[in-house]
Amino acid sequence: MNSLIKNFQKKYCISQKNKESSFGFFKWVIKTELTILIIFFIIITMYKLIPQSIIFQMKYSINKHFIYDKNSQEHYNFDSVKSAILRNNSISEHEKNFLNLFLESEIKENVNYIDTKKIESRLENLKVTYNKKYYYDKKEGEYIVSNPKYEMLGIAGKYNAFFNKITIYEQINEYEISKNYNEEKFDFSKCNKEAYFHELNHLLSNNNLNTITNKSNLSEAINELFTREYYYSLANNNDFQDKGYDEYIIFAYSLAELLPENVVRKYKFDNNDSIIIKGLLEIDNNLDEVYKLLSSINSFNIYQRKDKSGYMKFYNSLKYFYEKKYNQDINDNIDLLLYFYGTSLQSNDEKNKLKKYLNLSSSDEIIDIIPKGYYSNNYTQMHEKTIAICKINGQKKIIEIE
Ligand SMILES: [Zn+2]
């Protein structure tokens, strides 16, 4: 019996000890977690206190020699892209024909920069959905906007690389709604092809969003520049109806004027900021200035039309690199002056300088601009020089920039 009691006490004591030690364990966990939390808090605070430009320097000075070279694919055959498109069971024949026709020259001309295996797989599995702009609310007896968020931001489409899916939003006005609108299907035949092609162009890029900020106005702008050149040269439509990107496509045209052609092509199909950083460092080995230029682009508020202060930051940074490279006043570049004119953010001084160059009086106007070609062979052949469409004494006149 005694031994039983002893055993019991032994057991009890042991369990008491365990209890104590388990309390100790909890204390330890709480202490450790608190310590980790405090350290975490200190790191976050420090990170916030360090200027972004230093973080940028830390990130990119580690690996200054960004290696990026794909094996030459000169003999790449477009047939394998064609058969990947053919194998896609989710898209219509009409869409397949469009994809084949519109992608061929862009893929062939840029094949050394494109991850073709990835593109083929994406094209084979691509899904496209079409969202109608309105739905009919029976209770209210009226049409309601289906996607108010996208509608407000003026988004015509998007490409999600993770789900490999394009979504196209219908672009119609209330007065265009027909009697049978509710029963009508919104599909490829009715969608805005330029918007479709813009999203398709995202599919050609790696979407390697290794950017200094999480969003990338730069990749959007360059994507749109390629869209315009490759789409419009085939669609044979020089009437730039989609003005949605006009405020910031200037970033793409500016870099097209500043950086070598292969650098921009590489960036377009890889979306890695390192490529642009390396290109800029070759003009001037100054990471601070590179940071300023890139952050001015990516912090530009594209949804706030006429972001004048954002525009000025960008302009000053561009001017820095432009004048380092060409040893020439940036305002002597008439093409650039014209592109900036299109943004409506230009100063009056620059506008007057441009009008003087084009021999326009103060009452004459520049009503449209057709930029010269940079990347698409077809487009460049059609547009060797930038064109300004002007209204002189009430008459439309086309002026070519020499
Ligand atoms: Zn886009």
| Average pLDDT, integer, range 332-346 | 84
121 in a structural domain: yes
Q: Is 23 among the domain residues?
A: no
Question: Would residue 227 count as lying in a domain?
Answer: yes
Q: Quick one: pLDDT at residue 208?
A: 56
Verify that 271 and 189 share a domain, yes or no: no
> Residue 328: which of 248, 247, 258 has the closest Cα?
258
Q: Which long-range contacts (CB under 8 A, 24 or more apart) does 253-260 make?
A: 253/225, 253/335, 253/336, 253/339, 253/371, 254/314, 254/318, 254/336, 254/339, 255/218, 255/222, 256/225, 256/374, 256/375, 257/322, 257/333, 257/335, 257/336, 258/283, 258/318, 258/321, 258/322, 258/325
Domain final residue, candidates 204, 223, 243: 204
Residue-number span of the structural domain to which 96 is assigned = 77-204
pLDDT for res 214: 47
Ligand 1 centroid – CA 76 distance (Å): 27
Query: Residue 325 and residue 346: Cα distance in Å, rounded?
Result: 22
* 357 and 221 in a common domain: yes
Q: Does 275 share its domain with 132?
A: no
On whether both 165 and 275 belong to a single domain, the answer is: no
Neighbours of ion ligand 1 (CB under 5 A): 220
- Residue 276 inside a domain? The answer is yes
124 and 152 both lie in a single domain:
yes
The verdict on residue 363 lying in a domain is yes
230 and 196 assigned to the same domain? no
Q: What separation in Å is there between the alpha carbon of 249 and the centre of ligand 1?
A: 11
Counting the structural domains of the chain, the total is 2
- In the chain, the percentage of residues whose pLDDT exceeds 90 is 50
Ligand 1: centre distance to CA 195 (Å): 9
What's the CA-to-centroid distance between 255 and ligand 1, angstroms?
18
- Same domain flag for 247 and 375: yes
Do 200 and 219 lie in one domain? The reply is: no
Instruction: Inform me whether the pLDDT recorded for 68 exceeds 50.
Output: no
Mean pLDDT, the chain, as a whole number?
Answer: 83
For residue 6, is pLDDT > 80?
A: no
Domain boundary, last residue among 176, 204, 232 = 204
User: Within a domain: residue 35?
Assistant: no
Q: Which of 171-175, 306-310, 368-372, 379-383 has the lowest mean pLDDT?
A: 306-310
Q: Is residue 46 in a domain?
A: no
Q: How many whole angstroms from 244 Cα to the centroid of ligand 1? A: 11
Same domain? For 135 and 256 the reply is no
202 C-alpha to ligand 1 centroid (Å) = 7
Residue 354 lies in a domain: yes
**204 CA to middle of ligand 1, Å?**
12
One domain, residues 100 and 158: yes
Measure 139 CA to ligand 1 centroid, in angstroms. 36
- Same-domain status, 133 and 87: yes
Q: What is the distance in A from the centroid of ligand 1 to the CA of 245?
A: 9
Q: What is the pLDDT of residues 217-228, one digit of tens each?
A: 899 999 999 999
Verify that 258 and 370 share a domain, yes or no: yes
Tell how far the Cα of 196 is from the centroid of ligand 1, in angstroms: 10
Domain end marker among 154, 188, 204 = 204
